[in-house]
Amino acid sequence: MKTTACVFFILFCSCRYYPAAYYSSPANSLTSSYHRIPLQSDSMLSACYLNAAFSGGSANDRGHDKVYSFQTNFSAANNFKNFQMYYGGGLILGDYKFNHYEGNYHSDIIDFQALDQFAGNYFFGAVGLNAGMDFVIPFPLGGDWRLVGLEASLYKDFGDYLSVRKQLTDTAATYIARGNSLATFGFYSEIVDKTKYGSFGVKASAGWMLGKDYHYVGGIGNYGYFSFSLAPTFRRWTPYVQANFATKAANAMIGLNYRLGK
């Protein structure tokens, strides 16, 4: 009987949820939206694009809060003999839903009553730059294997949610990123195959947030991200769907790249 009670106690303790609250830039899962690059077999090896995307997802510990956003950016892309590159700038606008805890949580290190005072919907925005380059292997039938690529971004936050993060006290939450700068650095790989109607791309990327706000965070370590994209191309149009997973954030994104010019 004592053995059974001990086993039950161990299992119960190991499954117990210890509440946490993390507040950081909502852009930490939004900066790596899909950018189209011409194929090596295309007649146009350089091009400019407009991109627009909508996303919806969650943030904070265990997806406690909700985040909705719209973003748009302009980018240029170039193809060279053995590598490709893209670069541009973008704007992200969205709504951060700071949900109530409603007295259902108890902790000796988090002040949930103080957090509930800030519950509500808050506008957020971010403006910044994106760039990437890759080593490419062309397929015999016209597609590309972008074997390994590097990507980076630098964004500045603004809006009501940034003000909220600056007002929260250190004792209110597990961690609060109060800075308005967010930089990322990562790697990607993409296969783009020719189709009867254009091309179809499958891309995966992963990386880290840079800066003191996102390094050596207690209970986490360094903030990071992973994204996976599917992107067919029809003439000038490249619609895409993308799944984004970041530290204490995740979202689904639907977007569209449009090639400018002839």
pLDDT at 38 over 90: yes
pLDDT at 8 over 50: no
Residue that has been written with the tokens 């957020």 in this structure:
124
Q: How many other CB atoms are there within 10 angstroms of residue 226's CB atom?
A: 16
pLDDT tens figures, 80-102: 989 999 999 999 999 999 999 87
pLDDT for 262 equals 73
pLDDT tens figures, 186-222: 999 999 999 988 999 999 999 999 988 999 898 889 9
Domains of the chain with CATH codes: 2-259 (2.40.128)
CA 162/CA 228 separation, integer angstroms: 28
Q: H/E/C letters for each residue in 106-160?
A: CCCCCCHHHHHCCCEEEEEEEEEEEEEEEEEEECCCCCEEEEEEEEEEEEEEEEH
Question: What are 119's two structure tokens?
Answer: 């519950």
* pTM of the model as a whole: 0.89
Sign of CA dihedral 13, 215, 184, 115: positive
Beta bridge partners of 185: 152, 208
